[in-house]
Structure formats: structure tokens, C-alpha cells
Amino acid sequence: MAMTMTARQRARVSLYVQAGIFVVATAALILATDWRAVGNSVFNFGKIGPLFPDIFISGLKNTLIYTFLGFILGLSGGLLLALMKLSSFPLYRWIATGYIEFFRGIPALLVFIAFGYGVPLAFGVSWNVTVVVMVSLGMVAAAYIAETLRAGLQAVPRGQMEAARSLGMPQWRAMVTIVIPQAFKIVLPPLTNEVILLTKDSSLIYVLGLTASQYDLTKFGRDGISSLGAGLTPLLVAGAFYLVITIPLSLLARKFESRSARTKR
Amino acid sequence: MNDVVTNSRNHTGSLNAAGVSIQNLRKSYGTNEVLKGISLNVSPGEVVCLIGPSGSGKSTLLRCVNLLEQPNEGTIHVGGFDATDPDVDIDRMRRKVGMVFQQFNLFPHLSALRNCTVAQTKVLKRSQSEADKVAHANLERVGLGHLADRYPDQLSGGQQQRVAIARALSMDPELMLFDEPTSALDPETVGDVLSVMRNLAKEGMTMLVVTHEMGFAREVADRVVFMDGGVVVEEGVAEQVISAPTQGRTKEFLKRVLDPTHIEISE
């Protein structure tokens, strides 16, 4: 029978089969789930009242602050590293390459522990939690952002630099006024991705000793697990709040993407 | 042609045209020598067209004049500057030398007007209002005053190239370099760009033009220089070089370029 079908009929049958597999798999998953256990320990919304309003007022706010500070440091550090990596001076290139490979290669958790415990121990200083988060997140972010920005800077046509230099602009001025603004436009979508990753990485703050006013979303969730008797439900709530931050960011990134695709500016 | 040099520039006051003097210029990329000892003089107010086949080194020669390419040997004097002096203030020299590229190289994130003002304010430290005035005058001069607020991607190729010329003129250059300014253009927009260049030549601007437009060279250039294989093969009065070349290589090249059935492949 298959031999008698047209290409269009075959494509339609194939789609039906794919949809069927999806429906069966979903049904199997639903049937296999122990809904009573899940209801008690994951969707137990009856007991999570005490999370509010603090998880919203304090937790969401702290997550946003930590992410923002980390991003600002990461962006400035990343730009510096990207320019170093493109420098004609070999020492700069080596330093930047070494930094990027190191901080991209180790888990962010280790960086948090290093700056939260190692550095204070080594230098006898005690850092404010906010500073530790900013430095840890920022230094990891700088490594990733540096690579993104480097690619963006290199994507700006060489003629742009030549035209700017031909008008008498010194190298740095041409970079600042002509090349970097164009590079940022190119890397806006991947840069938004970095912010989303940072938002989630800020949860690593849990390895530090925190006072209640410093709790971020995840810490609220983890605390709730032990104190509320609602199983993992508090983490589900925390997760939902992350989506409140990250989904708008994704939409923003998509908007930038479609806009730059339309105008190619 | 020097006797038609007049102070006719409409907003900058007196015209300062600079000359160029190139002596024994050599340039290699690795083992590939693209300029093999070029000497060339351009007097203030003179228009010189560089012609020749692809790979003859004419674009490289032009780019050496404002040091977009670093020559290996020889000297270049531009106006009062010794371009080949290692201590030359490149940026100061480049302010005097306008450059127009084959691919326009307009700044895509800036409007036509801002393309013409950005270097005025950042390099010449003119006030924004003064820069705007100069930019508007120069956009008017290339016939695009009404499109000042457009962005480059909203302009045709010919319009973009005219904005690029206005951008260079806004710095009050004493010398203009054109690197195949019409090679990337649709045929119907070539004329507008050439007529802007023709007017510029009439106003007494020193111009060094790499071009394949033989009609333009014959009509506008004071002198034509034919290059091939990194050397100057023949140079002289435009009409004479194009209509009655003396060298075999020049004759062959012109025959190919002027033959309407020949398809020119640009570099």
C-alpha cells in the first residue's frame, strides 16, 4: 500500500505516527506516576503559605541583585578580556586565553567556594556575601562573555575599522565609537543567554553562610524543604520564580534577534 | 588643469589642496611583491587616475598613501607629512586625506548625517551644531540633503557611496583617495557618483582615483597612470594614454576594457 501513496500522503502519515508516539508516551508517563506520592511531596501547596511573601519580596529581589551585579562585572571583565584576546601584544593574549580557559573549565561552584572561604582564609579578610557573589559570578561570567564578545568584535567587517581610521580616529576611538557598538548589536541574543545562565548560577550562593535577609530563591526553597513538611514543593515554587525572570529575558532576546534580522543594522 | 584651481568650496573658506610624492615604493605580502618600486607625483589640485588589471597593485598603492597598508621600502610625502617616517602622527595626517572605499564602509549603526559628523566631533572636536552644518552642506553637495536621516541600509549603493564621499569631505581633506568607487555599484547609479567626483575635480581637489571607468578617466583626469605587475608601465596625459598608448601591455589592457563584449571581473 505504501507504494501507492504520494509524497504528500506519506508525509501526512508520518506526522500522524509521530503524534501518536507522543500521545502514547505521555499517557504511559501519566499512568506510571504515583500521583499520591507526588501530590504529597511535590504539589503540596497547602503547606507552603509561610514561604510568602518573603520568597517574593526578599528571595526574588536578592536573586535579581546578585545576577545584576555579577553581570555588570562579567560584562566589563568580558569586554576587557575580549580586547586583550584580540590584542597584538602576545602577553595580553596569553593572559586572556589562560583566564578564559581556567574559569570556563572549572565548575562555578568551586569558584564560589574559593571566593567564599579560600580567599578570606588566605588574606585574612571577611567579605560581605554580596561581594562574594558578585566576584564569583562576575569572574565566571567574564570568561563566557569574553568569548561571545570576541566573536562579535570579529564579526564587524574590517572595513569599518579602516573607514574609522581613515577619518583620523585613533585605534581606541574607532573601537569605542564604531566597532564596539556594532559588536554589541551582533551579540545581544547570545548575551541575553549569558544573563539567563547567570540567573540560575546565582543559586550557588547556597554554599555560603547566609543570613535570612540574604537568601535567594533557591535558598528559600531549600530551607522550606526542611521546615515546612511539604516535601519538595518549596523548590517547585522557587523554580517557578526563576521562570518569571528567565522567560521574559528569552522573549526579549528573540525580539532583538528578529529585529536585527529584519533591519540587518 | 592647475589653472582651474579656484577657491570654490562652499563652506570651508579657502581650499588647501595637498600634493603627493611617492618615491621607489615597495610592498610585499610574504614573498609576493605587489609593488616593485613605484614612483609617482601628484601635484596639488591634480586628478590622477590609476588604471590596470586586477592584481596590478593599484589599490595597494592607494592604500599605502594613507597607511592602511604599511610599505616596506620607499618614501611617501602627503602635504607636509612624511608618511613613511616611523614617528609620523598617522591620525593627524589621515584627517587631511579623505578615503572612499569600493564597499563604501559606511557606519551601519549611524544615520547618513551622523556618519558625516562622528569624526568631526570626535576627531576635530567641532561642536555638534557646527558638525551638523558642515555635514548638511556636504550631503547637499552630493545631492542627498533630503536623505540625511536615513540609515545606510535604507539607501541604494550609489546613495551610500555619495554619503561616503560627503563623510570624507566633512573633514575638509586636502587630498581624496578613491579605491574603485563605482565597482560595487549597479550600473544605473554609477553616473551619480561619477558626477559628484567630476564636480569635486572642478573645485580643485587633489584626487587619486583607482578606477575601471575609462570614460571618467579620459574626461576628468589630468593624468592617467597604467600599472601592471606592481610597476608603472605607462603614464601621461589622460587622453593620450587612453587613446594612443605606446606600451604593448597598455594597449592590450585597454583593448580588453574598452571592448564591449569583454566582461570585466573586478578585484
Q: Which residues of chain A have pLDDT under 50?
A: 264-265
Tell if the CB–CB gap between A163 and B108 is shorter than 8 Å.
no
Flag whether residue B118 sits within 8 Å of chain A, measured between CB atoms: yes
Task: Show the cell assigned to B202.
Answer: 572642478
pLDDT of the residue at B261: 67
Q: Can you give the pLDDT at residue A3?
A: 65
Tell me, what's the pLDDT at B210? 97
B168: chain A residues, CB-CB within 8 Å? 166-167
Confidence band (pLDDT; 50, 70, 90) for B7? Answer: very low
Q: Is B155 on the interface with A (CB under 8 A)?
A: no
Supply the pLDDT for residue B267.
47
Could you say which of B107, B153, B168 has the minimum Cβ distance to residue A160?
Answer: B107
Which residue matches cell numbers 555638534? B128
How far is the CA of B157 from the CAs of A35, B178, B182, B190, B263, in angstroms?
66, 16, 9, 9, 21
Q: How far is CA B109 from the centre of its chain?
A: 24
At A221-248, the pLDDT tens digits run 888 888 888 888 889 989 999 999 999 9
Report, as an integer, the average pLDDT of B156-160.
96
List chain B residues with CB under 8 Å of A182: 107-109
Restricting to B residues 52-91, those with a Cβ less than 8 Å away from any Cβ of A are: 66, 68, 91
Residue B9 has pLDDT above 80, yes or no: no
Calpha distance A263→B190 (Å, rounded)? 25
Taking only the tens place, the pLDDT of each residue in A117-152 is 988 888 888 888 899 999 999 999 999 999 999 999
Partners of residue B151 in chain A, C-beta under 8 Å: 263, 265
Identify the top-confidence range among A252-256, B16-20, B229-233, B256-260: B229-233
Quote the pLDDT of residue B266: 53
Q: Say whether B107 and A167 touch across the interface (CB within 8 A).
A: no
Backbone angles phi, psi at B243, to 5 degrees: -90, -30
Average model confidence (pLDDT) for chain B? 90
Per-residue pLDDT at B259 exceeds 90: no
Whole-angstrom distance, CA of residue B49 vs CA of residue B208: 6
Beginning with the edge strand found earlier in the chain, give each strand of the sheet holding B32-42 in spatial order: B32-42, B20-29, B73-78, B81-82
CA B226 to chain centre: 16
For residue range B211-233, list pLDDT tens digits in order: 999 999 999 999 999 999 999 99
CB contact under 8 A, B68 and A164: no
- Which residues touch B214 (CB under 8 Å, ≥6 apart)? B51, B242, B254, B257, B258
Q: What is the pTM of this model?
A: 0.83
> What is d(CA A122, CA A107) in angstroms, rounded to the nearest whole number?
21
What pLDDT does residue B67 have?
Answer: 95
Closest to B52 (Cα-Cα) out of B256, B194, B259: B256
Q: Do A157 and B151 touch (CB under 8 A)?
A: no
